[in-house]
Amino acid sequence: MRYLLFIFLFGMNWQVILSQEFEIKETTFKNGELTLVADIYSPNKPKKEKIGIALIQGSGHSGRSNVWSFLMAEFLSENGYYVLLPDKRGVGKSQGDWKKASLLDLADDAIHSARHLKKLHSLDQVGVMGLSEGGTIVPAVATQSEVDFVINMVGGALPPERKIIHEVTHTAMEEGLSPEEINGVLELHALYDDYIYSENKDWTVLEKKFENIKQSSWSEFGATFPNTPDSWVFDWVKRNFKFDPMEYWVQVKQDVFIAYGANDHNVPTYECAYQLHRGFHKAKKTNYELHIYPAGHSLFESGTTFRQDFRNDLLKWLDKR
């Protein structure tokens, strides 16, 4: 479980140097008793109508130093948009603990961030952009707030449980595990499921399973998963694995832009696209765009550069605001 959750919960966290075509100032905002910290990117050449975008961080320990999110903040600000880039709760200077939070708790943080951004700069419009896990919760933000538009960048439209099984399967393939070894990995996760949702919390079966894994051909891979009954991961899973984004997507009234990568090993792109099209059509929602690009999870085309077609489509859509 720890291995499969590595990307999902910890994401990308590389350091790069920002170009200064905008001003960056630290700000704080509140959600209840929590004080959350963010950077505000103010463009040197803002749009005629002042528009802001509050970013929602991806999974795990994602803060303002996360390369993926601050490259997006930089790109948007360079094109005239005010951007709020937060330290996720429990990361950097933000209070709280994402490990103990529900996805709806994080959605509530995002709602307060968007309100703060709009008030701080007296903006005409403010939208939210969810990155990966942030895109999973962005429809909950939209349905419970007054934001003007919604962007989902490679966020799953399925319950996290299904996304994780997709991810761990592809990770096992990339590690060179055989079909039978991957079968064993999936059995382990089925046993996790039994343990997490059982009332008596009997660890005996999993303890025996890990003894067998130690003697197996995939022992090194298996050793990366939680192997003690008190792992924090289990409470996190119980709190969040059944969250269904589609329950919220079908209620979203705002304009929506969605971007996926065809080669994404973290998110089951085509199943997500199908569920979104299906849900929107049933809800008679037409004010959305959904694009699938020939890219992986980051939507980079080379190094740390977002694909040109993605950038063009996003800016064209934003220009309609």
**4 within some domain:** no
Domain count, the chain: 2
pLDDT tens string 46-79: 999 999 999 999 999 999 999 999 999 999 999 9
**6 within some domain:** no
Tell me the helices (H) and strands (E) count for the chain, helix number first. Answer: 12, 10
Total residues belonging to the chain: 321
3-state secondary structure of 153: strand
Asked if 184 and 218 count as a contact pair (C-beta separation under 8 A), the reply is: yes
3-state secondary structure of 292: strand
What does the alpha-carbon distance between residue 181 and residue 187 come to, in Å, rounded to a whole number? 10
- Please tell me whether residues 40 and 102 are part of one structural domain: yes
Query: For residue 236, how many other CB atoms are within 10 A of its CB?
Result: 21
- Please tell me whether residues 166 and 303 are part of one structural domain: no
What is the radius of gyration, based on Cα positions, of the chain? 20
Strands 300-302 and 305-306, by their bridges, are: antiparallel
Answer yes or no: is pLDDT of 306 > 90: yes
Domain that holds residue 205: 160-240
| Chain mean position to CA 199 | 30
Look at residues 240, 273, 295 and tell me which one is the last residue of a structural domain. Answer: 240
- DSSP H or E segment with residue 41: strand 34-43
E-assigned strands of 168-254? Answer: none
- Please tell me whether residues 126 and 259 are part of one structural domain: yes
Residue with tokens 């832009």: 257
**121 within some domain:** yes
- Please tell me whether residues 298 and 312 are part of one structural domain: yes
8 against 173, higher pLDDT:
173
What is the pLDDT averaged over residues 165-173? 97
- Please tell me whether residues 117 and 248 are part of one structural domain: yes
- Please tell me whether residues 76 and 56 are part of one structural domain: yes
3-state secondary structure of 55: strand
- DSSP H or E segment with residue 182: helix 179-197
**12 confidence band (pLDDT: 50, 70, 90):** very low
pLDDT tens string 248-290: 999 999 999 999 999 999 999 999 999 999 999 999 999 999 9
**10 confidence band (pLDDT: 50, 70, 90):** very low
Beta bridge partners of 288: 256
Answer yes or no: is pLDDT of 231 > 70: yes
